[in-house]
Amino acid sequence: MSRWIRSFGMFWYDFIVGDDWRGAAVVAVALAGTALLVHAAGLNPWWLLPLCVLAALGWSLRRATAGKG
């Protein structure tokens, strides 16, 4: 049973997150930061998530291609 649950979890992890978990982590942190800035500081940081996502994409691509010609 635990093996089945583990396989099920791994399938969904691979399905949604894929090869690089860092992109998912950046999205989660950026969304939490956005919510914090909106609700605690009263700001409207619409630019934060797009910037973080594009930066995460660049970072992930850099890691994937480092050392490859």
Applying CB under 8 A, does 3 fall inside the site for another protein? Answer: no
DSSP 12-56: HHHHHTTT-HHHHHHHHHHHHHHHHHHHTT----TTHHHHHHHHH
Output the six-digit token pair for 34: 């956005």
User: Site residues for another protein, window 25-64 (CB under 8 A)?
Assistant: 27-28, 31, 34-35, 38-39, 44-46, 48-50, 53-54, 56-58, 60-61, 64
What minimum distance in Å lies between the beta carbon of 19 and another protein?
Answer: 7
Query: How many Cα atoms within 13 Å fall on the side-chain side of residue 33?
Result: 14
Q: Which residues bind another protein (CB under 8 A)?
A: 15-20, 23-24, 27-28, 31, 34-35, 38-39, 44-46, 48-50, 53-54, 56-58, 60-61, 64-65, 67-69
